[in-house]
Amino acid sequence: MKKHLPVLVVLGLFALLVVFSGPAAEGARKGLDVCAATLAPSLLPFFALANLLSALGLPDLLGGLFGGAMGRLFHISPDGAQAFFLGLSGGYPLGAALVADLRRSGRVARDEAERLLAFCNNSGPAFILGAAGGVFKSPAAGLLLYVTHVLAAITTGVVFRGRSPAPVPEKPSAAKAVPPFGKALTAAVSKAVGSTVTVCGYVVLFGALLGILEPYLTLPPPVNALVCGFLELGSGVAAMAGQAPEPVPLALTALIIGWGGASVHCQTMGVLADTDISCARHLAGRALCGAFAAVYTYFGALMLF
């Protein structure tokens, strides 16, 4: 029965889409609106630049410069430090993708990979400054949300730091060859388009499911946004539209961004599918990151707004 559970769940969702095709289509349309108006314009340029910087070796450079300090703070290797920087610059699920690559190549042990996953798969400035800041029509609110997100990721990393420094991997780290700029740029843009389409695909899919639930979500707007954000990050943040940049709405938004939503967790499981990394610490890490970010944002908003 257990092995057939995923099939039964998908069949149940398929039946819901057939029975409630009208609300589902309306929810999917709203998801497309969010993608066209907010996500694609804010995510694609940042994804492209983050991919380009990664291809040109910036994570390796940062890992070399700050690997020692990161190792003392988080008990991770210099290679692991790359995932932290890329996760905070590129956004979901690029941090998880790099952790998976590091594990496949043997540059980090399984325990370190799972600890990295707890605090290195984060939302990036593209979404937080562009999309979340735009919802509140306040660049200052977007900046506060990003700063507190970074602080929450650091705090979560300290919680998951382990008892001792990461062991030296059996396989030596091999320096990656830096491709020519033109080739790197083309690959970065192509990868960014694919990442943006994937994110928007999840937004539309979960938007359809939220469209079915929407008639039953007769809750205050911030709470409604929290429920939506539990399933899908972009829809949850977009549901905050019209709210003033005040402590409670901002703190709830920080919680939504830190948690990431079920769609982000599905994307993460996808990039980890062919590794031996468990997602358990990722779920715990996202919950902790969201909680820390909400607390930091609430008190930060009290001082700023």
pLDDT score at 130: 80
Q: What distance in Å separates the CA atoms of residue 210 and residue 216, rounded to the nearest whole number?
A: 10
pLDDT tens by residue, the chain, 305 residues: 667 787 888 888 888 888 888 999 998 998 898 788 877 887 788 778 877 887 887 767 777 787 788 888 999 988 888 888 888 877 788 889 889 988 988 888 999 999 999 999 999 887 898 878 888 989 999 999 999 999 999 999 999 987 766 665 555 555 567 889 889 999 989 988 987 888 788 889 888 988 888 777 777 878 888 988 998 888 889 889 889 999 999 999 999 999 999 989 988 988 898 899 999 999 999 999 999 999 999 999 999 87
Task: For residue range 123-141, list pLDDT tens digits in order.
Answer: 988 789 887 888 898 999 9
Measured CA to CA, the distance from residue 158 to residue 165 in angstroms comes to 12
Report the alpha-carbon distance of residue 140 to residue 304 in Å, rounded.
9
Shortest CA distance to 214 belongs to which of 228, 226, 203, 200? 228
Q: Which residue has the tokens 């314009």?
A: 41
Q: Tens digits of per-residue pLDDT, 146-182? A: 999 999 999 999 999 877 666 655 555 555 678 898 8
CB 107, CB 100: distance < 8 Å: no
Whether residue 93 has a cis bond before it, omega within 30° of 0: yes
